[in-house]
Amino acid sequence: MKILLLDVNCKYSSTGKIVYDLYRRLNADGHEARIAYGRGDVIDEPRIYKFGVDWETKKHALLARITGKNGCYSPKSTANLIQYIKDFQPDLIHIHELHAYFVNITELLKFLKEQQIPVVWTFHCEYMYTGKCGFAYECQGYKSGCGNCPYLRQYVSSLAIDKTAQLLAEKKAAMDGLNLKAIVTPSKWLADKTKETYLYGNNIQVIHNGIDTDGIFYPRPKDDAIRSQFGIPADARLILAVAPNIMDVRKGGQMVVDLAETMPDTQFVLVGADETKRHSANVQLIARTKDQDELARWYSEADLFIICSKAENFPTTCIEALCCGTPVVGLDECGTKETAPEPYGTFVRVDIAGDADVKYAATLEALQKAISTQLGRGLTAEEIRNYAVANYDNAVMYRNYLEIYNK
């Protein structure tokens, strides 16, 4: 079987790692898999093709902000991709993310409809059923066609012009007639939301994200050197947070920093900041890293992993932590809770009356209690890891996708 895997990234970021895992396993299994991706470094491996043009991506991002439209300012990159598909002639295309300013979505889908190439599409966020938003939060405007977007300046960003109603109408038209065999979501939360949209009539399935649990994400020995490097006492309790652009409002880094102020006897490390620096006596910020081995060392060194994102589908960071034997605490938002069911994780949702400050203080207090609850369970790293490997090894993910491909 000839399969083309299509994404914004390759080998890097959660979706890029998933795509690369599927690519490796398909080829090892005797299939001919290729990857076409739009952004990032050029990867010098056979059957991997970067079709995106960097200067065009920058232009696309700028025009999207000015005009309010997106997914329509990359003609050269899109032409590169379409020609690559024509040359490869795949039996099936597995699409992951198409936002991020690197492809003309309507033009690509028109070509796929003309060719009637079978498509499997993994939704890693809400983008394909909203006007422009990767996450809709509490907004349900997409159910009535979008417009008057409350998150106009959030990614995918527009400075002032609201084209969300037009964009959603264009997506609906572009998806109509596509030879779409399955929509896959990593979480039940996103599957349930997708079923409430114009896409409800499709075959919608849940396949959890998988990772490399043997070669990268496994428990490492406790390492005094990594603590010493950043001035973290060897005997201090350590709580870790990891996210790209972790101090972005959606990723919740500021909440972790504020929580740290209420827990002066606990050390906090946040990976994914703009720069590496000591933020305060018990908070260390570390710049975003592509070094997966370094991340695994931090996961293993931590007593607990914390995630305070406002919106996530099925965050890979949580399952990476579990595979390294580290339990999880966080906010019960979107699909995050599904990654670490009790007793491997504890999640909080604060539903109280009061203004924002009152609710925020209550959330910090609830997180403190959740940390005590989770650490009080006394789970061993082996127990946590065994659950994670059984559910999140990339071999499990691959078998589930292969079943869909074969059908």
The pLDDT tens digits along the chain (407 residues) read: 999 999 999 998 889 999 999 999 999 999 999 999 999 999 999 999 999 999 999 999 999 999 999 999 999 999 999 999 999 999 999 999 999 999 999 999 999 999 999 999 999 999 999 999 999 999 999 999 999 999 999 999 999 999 999 999 999 999 999 999 999 999 999 999 999 999 999 999 999 999 999 999 999 998 889 999 999 999 999 999 999 999 998 899 999 999 999 999 999 999 999 999 999 999 999 999 889 999 999 999 999 999 999 999 999 999 999 999 999 999 999 999 999 999 999 999 977 777 889 999 999 999 999 999 999 999 999 999 999 999 999 999 999 999 999 99
Burial call 260-290: b when 16+ CB within 10 Å, e when fewer? beebeebbbbbbbbeeeeeeeebbbbbeeee
Same domain for 332 and 236? yes
Amino acid code (one letter) for 374 = Q
pLDDT of residue 282: 97
* Domain extent at residue 140: 2-206
Same domain for 147 and 25? yes
Cis upstream peptide for 343 (omega within 30°): yes
CA distances from 404 to 36, 232, 373 (A): 20, 47, 40
- Of 206, 232, 260, the domain-final residue: 206
pLDDT of residue 290: 84
Same domain for 9 and 47? yes
Same domain for 232 and 142? no
Same domain for 243 and 178? no
pLDDT of residue 267: 98
Find where tokens 């370094």 sit.
Answer: 294
Domain annotation covers residue 354:
yes
Please count the other Cβ atoms lying within 10 Å of the Cβ belonging to residue 244: 13
Domain annotation covers residue 214:
no
89: nearest Cα among 115, 66, 71: 115
Number of folded domains in the chain?
2
Burial call 203-239: b when 16+ CB within 10 Å, e when fewer? ebbbbbbbbbbeeebbbbeeeeebbeeeebeeeebbb
- Of 149, 173, 206, the domain-final residue: 206
pTM for this entry: 0.93
| CA dihedral of residues 110, 8, 172, 311 (deg, nearest 10) | 180
Same domain for 283 and 150? no
Same domain for 383 and 256? yes
CATH number of the domain bearing residue 80: 3.40.50.2000
Same domain for 195 and 94? yes
Same domain for 308 and 181? no
Same domain for 264 and 151? no
pLDDT of residue 350: 79
pLDDT of residue 223: 86
Domain annotation covers residue 150:
yes
- Give the span between the Cα atoms of 87 and 283, in whole angstroms: 52
Q: Are 264 and 281 in contact (CB under 8 A)?
A: yes
Q: Are 220 and 292 in contact (CB under 8 A)?
A: no
pLDDT digits (tens, 9 = 90+) for 151-205: 999 999 999 999 999 999 999 999 999 999 999 999 999 999 999 999 999 999 9
197: nearest Cα among 135, 96, 129: 129
Same domain for 120 and 33? yes
Domain annotation covers residue 212:
no
Same domain for 350 and 253? yes
Domain annotation covers residue 128:
yes
